[in-house]
Amino acid sequence: MIKTDAFSTELQELARFAKAISHPARLAILKYLAETKTCISGDISDYLPLSRSTVSQHLNDLKELGLIHGEIDGLKVNYCLCCSSIDDYLKMFETFFESIRSVNVQCVTKTKT
Amino acid sequence: MIKTDAFSTELQELARFAKAISHPARLAILKYLAETKTCISGDISDYLPLSRSTVSQHLNDLKELGLIHGEIDGLKVNYCLCCSSIDDYLKMFETFFESIRSVNVQCVTKTKT
DNA sequence: ATTGTATGCCGTAAAAATACGACATTGGTT
DNA sequence: AACCAATGTCGTATTTTTACGGCATACAAT
């Protein structure tokens, strides 16, 4: 499988971003980080209805894309949003959907298959 | 599993939108529909390196969220973007990320865990 | 009426995502 | 030195996604 490779890198990158934010837990983490500015992993798993290891995994997904950073501070790890990276992905997102939306198709809404 | 229910409907809806566009094939379909204005399913599977049944499934995913419509025209089905629905989701998306981005955290980029 | 074509759906197989407990590691605390 | 606390990793189970071929349906054409 993995036919994913057959598509342009632009679409692949955008898809990876979308996948990263395609789970409520990860969106909740982003939101929580924005509100608290910075926080440790344990705070997040207390806040979310998920186990520590699961939260750790979600944090990893976000970190792999570069959407967040984790700074080690003794025993704890301070997580924070990586705004520059988020901005880059948002720009990519907007570019794509602007090109989509610029085409003003008169949508036939009568029949929905 | 399915801990998804524990999150707010806002986050769930946004996550569903993100999931819908989290595959290069579905992004490619949206792009193709924007370019060709309208087209039939067969054209898409010719254009994409995927089988007809797979494309049909992706089309269904997009249709379930309301991002596209399919109008039956005799033997064929004309697919087109549903701009109003797309706009709704884009608005939701922007609202979320504006609230995220409004918090200007000075990101510590030194250590990356 | 028979044939051909476009599509969707079903079953299935492989892969990826999700979620957790248990364990290991590392850095403070007493 | 011994202990506690916070985190990440590993293994595993379940679910979901991805992808396809084959079948059925519906319409058009001969």
Residue A106 maps to a domain: no
pLDDT at A112 over 50: no
Residue B37 confidence (pLDDT): 76
pLDDT at A109 over 70: no
Instruction: Say if residue A98 is exposed, middle or buried (CB neighbours under 10 Å; 0-12, 13-18, 19+).
Output: exposed
Residue A14 maps to a domain: yes
Residue A113 maps to a domain: no
Q: What is the Cα–Cα distance from B95 to B89, expressed in whole angstroms?
A: 10
Mean pLDDT of B10-28: 97
Q: What is the Cα–Cα distance from A9 to A12, expressed in whole angstroms?
A: 5
Residue A110 maps to a domain: no
Q: What is the Cα–Cα distance from B31 to A101, expressed in whole angstroms?
A: 10
Q: What is the Cα–Cα distance from A53 to B33, expressed in whole angstroms?
A: 41
Residue B108 maps to a domain: no
Going by C-alpha positions, the residue among A46, A43, A30 that lies closest to residue B101 is A30
Residue A53 confidence (pLDDT): 96
pLDDT at A111 over 70: no
* Nucleic acid strand D within 7 Å of B24 CB: no
Contact (CB, 8 A) for A96 and A18: no
B28 reaches A (C-beta below 8 A): yes
Instruction: Tally helices (H) and strands (E) across chain B.
Output: 5, 3
Mean pLDDT of A13-27: 98
Number of structural domains found in chain B: 1
Within 7 A of a protein CB, which nucleotides of strand D? 5-11, 14-22, 26-28
pLDDT at B110 over 60: no
Q: Which residue is nearest to nucleotide C15 (CA to C1')?
A: A1
pLDDT tens digits, one per residue of A43-87: 999 999 999 999 999 999 999 999 999 999 999 999 999 999 999
CATH number of the domain bearing residue A62 = 1.10.10.10
Query: Rounded mean pLDDT of chain A?
Result: 88
Residue B100 maps to a domain: no
A90 reaches B (C-beta below 8 A): yes
Domain span holding position A84:
3-101
Mean pLDDT of B29-56: 92
Q: What is the Cα–Cα distance from A9 to A15, expressed in whole angstroms?
A: 10
Number of other residues whose CB lies within 10 A of the CB of residue B46: 12
CA dihedral A36, A40, A44, A47 (to 10 degrees): -70
Mean pLDDT of A13-26: 98
* Window from A3-17, A94-108, B33-47, B90-104 with minimum mean pLDDT: A94-108
User: What confidence category does residue B109 fall into, taking pLDDT thresholds of 50, 70 and 90?
Assistant: very low
Provide, as residue numbers in chain B, all residues whose Cβ is less than 8 Å from the Cβ of A22.
15, 18-19, 22
A63 reaches B (C-beta below 8 A): yes
Q: What is the Cα–Cα distance from A75 to A73, expressed in whole angstroms?
A: 6
